[in-house]
Amino acid sequence: MIYDLRSQFPILQRHVHGDKPLVYLDNAATTQKPKAVLDAIADFYVTSNANAHRGGHALGAEATALYESARGTIGRFLNAAPESVVFTHGATEALNLLATSIERTYGASLRGKSIVISEMEHHANIVPWQVLCERTGALLKVIRICDDGSLDMQHAQELIAHNCAVVSIAHMSNVLGTINDVETICTWAREHGAHSIVDGCQFVVHNQVSVDNIGCDAYVFGGHKVYGPFGIGVLYGRPEWLTVLEPYQAGGAMIDNVTFEKTTYAEPPLRFEAGTPNIEGAIGLGAAINWLSSIDRKTVADQETSVTEAMIDGLLQHDRVRVIGGDYARNGIISIVVDGIHANDLGTLMDEQGVAVRTGHHCAMPLMRRLGLQGTLRASVAAYNSIDDAHRFLDAFSRSCRMLG
Partner 1 sequence: MTIIETIEQLAAKLAGLPDWEDRYTEIIAMGKGLPLYPEEFRSDQFKVKGCQSQVWLHPRNEAGVLHFDADSDALIVKGLVALLMNVYSGRTPAEIVASNDDIAKELSLEQHLSPNRANGLASMIKQIRLYALAYSLLKP
Ligand X SMILES: Cc1ncc(COP(=O)(O)O)c(C=O)c1O
Residues that bind ligand X (CB under 6 A): 90-92, 122, 124-125, 170, 174, 199, 201-202, 222, 363
DSSP letters, 308-365, are HHHHHHHHTTSTTEEETT-SS--TTEEEEEETTB-HHHHHHHHHHTTEE-EEE-TT-H
Q: Which is nearer to partner 1, 154 or 344 (CB)?
A: 344
Q: Which is nearer to partner 1, 68 or 351 (CB)?
A: 351
Please say whether the dihedral angle defined by the alpha carbons of residues 171, 176, 177 and 178, taken in this order, is positive or negative: negative
Q: Residue 191, Cα to own-chain centre: how many angstroms?
A: 27
**Minimum distance between the CB of residue 345 and partner 1, rounded to whole angstroms?**
5
User: What does 131 bind: partner 1, ligand X, none (CB cut-off 5 to 8 Å by kind)?
Assistant: none
**Minimum distance between the CB of residue 38 and ligand X, rounded to whole angstroms?**
19
Termini Cα distance of the chain: 41
Residues 6+ apart with CB under 8 A from 340: 320
User: What does 86 bind: partner 1, ligand X, none (CB cut-off 5 to 8 Å by kind)?
Assistant: none
Give the closest residue to 351 by CA, choosing from 7, 15, 8: 15
Known catalytic residue: 401? no
For β-strands 114-118 and 376-380, DSSP reports them as unpaired
For β-strands 376-380 and 358-360, DSSP reports them as antiparallel
**Minimum distance between the CB of residue 115 and ligand X, rounded to whole angstroms?**
16
Task: Give strand pairing partners of 85.
Answer: 236
Is 3 strand, coil or helix?
coil
The secondary structure of residue 44, as a DSSP letter, is I
User: What does 79 bind: partner 1, ligand X, none (CB cut-off 5 to 8 Å by kind)?
Assistant: none
Residues 6+ apart with CB under 8 A from 267: 83, 243, 256
User: What does 345 bind: partner 1, ligand X, none (CB cut-off 5 to 8 Å by kind)?
Assistant: partner 1
DSSP letters, 230-275, are TT-EEEEE-HHHHTTSPPSS-STTSEEE--SS--EEPPTTGGG--S
User: What does 344 bind: partner 1, ligand X, none (CB cut-off 5 to 8 Å by kind)?
Assistant: partner 1
**Minimum distance between the CB of residue 355 and partner 1, rounded to whole angstroms?**
13
CA distances for 16 relative to 12, 350, 354, 355, angstroms: 10, 12, 6, 9
User: What does 122 bind: partner 1, ligand X, none (CB cut-off 5 to 8 Å by kind)?
Assistant: ligand X
Q: Point out the catalytic residue in the list 164, 201, 363, 401.
A: 363
Give the closest residue to 332 by CA, choosing from 276, 281, 385: 385
**Minimum distance between the CB of residue 28 and ligand X, rounded to whole angstroms?**
6
User: What does 210 bind: partner 1, ligand X, none (CB cut-off 5 to 8 Å by kind)?
Assistant: none
**Minimum distance between the CB of residue 28 and partner 1, rounded to whole angstroms?**
18
Q: Which is nearer to partner 1, 204 or 349 (CB)?
A: 349
Return the half-sphere exposure (C-beta side, CA atoms, 13 A cut-off) of residue 130: 9
Give the footprint of partner 1 on this chain (CB under 8 A): 17, 341-342, 344-345, 347-349, 351-352, 359-360, 374, 403-405
**Minimum distance between the CB of residue 260 and ligand X, rounded to whole angstroms?**
36
Q: Which is nearer to partner 1, 68 or 345 (CB)?
A: 345
Q: Which is nearer to partner 1, 35 or 369 (CB)?
A: 369
Q: Which is nearer to partner 1, 213 or 348 (CB)?
A: 348
Bond into 269 cis (ω within 30): yes
What is the rounded radius of gyration, in angstroms, for the C-alpha atoms of the chain?
22
Helices (H) then strands (E): counts for the chain: 13, 17
Q: Which is nearer to partner 1, 193 or 405 (CB)?
A: 405
Residue 396: count of CB within 10 angstroms of its CB: 22
Q: Which residues are catalytic?
A: 363
